[in-house]
Amino acid sequence: MIEYFQQIWPSLWPTLAAIGVILAVVPVLGLYITFIERKVAAYIQDRLGPNRVGPFGLFQAIADGIKLFLKEQTIPDHVYTFLYFVAPTFSLMTAMFALVVMPFGPVPTEYKEGFRYIVAPGIDIGILMMIAISSLSAYGIILGGWASNNKYSLYGAIRSCAQFISYEIPLGLSIIGVIAAAGSLNIEQIVAAQGGSMLNWNMFWQPLALIIFFTSALAETNRLPFDLPECEQELVGGFHTEYGGIKFVLFFLAEYTHVVTVSFLTSLLFFGGWHFPGLTGPVDASLGGMLLRTFVLVSKVSMVVAFIMLLRWALPRFRFDQLMGLAWKGLIPLGIVNLLCVAVVLTFDLPKHLLSFTALFLVVGAMISARNLQSTINRPRSAGREPAPVYSSKVTA
pTM for the predicted model, two decimal places: 0.86
User: Do the beta carbons of residue 177 and residue 206 sit within 8 Å?
Assistant: yes
| Residue 379 banded pLDDT, cuts 50, 70, 90 | low
- The set of residues, in sequence order, having a beta carbon less than 8 Å from that of 176 and lying 6+ positions away, is 339, 342
User: Do the beta carbons of residue 181 and residue 223 sit within 8 Å?
Assistant: no
pLDDT at 170: 92
Helix, coil or strand: residue 54? coil
Amino acid in position 42: A
390: pLDDT strictly greater than 60: no
230: pLDDT strictly greater than 80: no
DSSP for 94-153, please give it.
Answer: HHHHGGGG--SS---TT--SS--SSSSTT-TTHHHHHHHHHHTHHHHHHHHHHHTT-HHH
221: pLDDT strictly greater than 70: yes
What is the arithmetic mean of pLDDT over 259-274?
Answer: 90
| Residue 393 banded pLDDT, cuts 50, 70, 90 | very low
- The set of residues, in sequence order, having a beta carbon less than 8 Å from that of 34 and lying 6+ positions away, is 61, 64, 252, 256
User: Do the beta carbons of residue 50 and residue 57 sit within 8 Å?
Assistant: yes
CA distances from 53 to 68, 133, 349 (A): 16, 37, 60
Question: pLDDT digit string (tens) for 163-213?
Answer: 888 888 999 999 998 998 888 888 888 888 888 788 888 888 888 899 999
Q: Is 299 exposed, middle or buried (0-12, 13-18, 19+ CB in 10 A)?
A: exposed
User: Do the beta carbons of residue 99 and residue 261 sit within 8 Å?
Assistant: yes
Determine the Cα–Cα distance for residues 46 and 201; give it in Å rounded to an integer.
37
| Residue 110 banded pLDDT, cuts 50, 70, 90 | low
| Residue 51 banded pLDDT, cuts 50, 70, 90 | confident
Question: pLDDT digit string (tens) for 11-31?
Answer: 777 778 888 888 888 888 888
286: pLDDT strictly greater than 80: no
User: Comparing C-alpha atoms, which of 107, 33, 28 is closest to residue 302?
Assistant: 33
| Residue 397 banded pLDDT, cuts 50, 70, 90 | very low
Mean pLDDT of the chain: 82
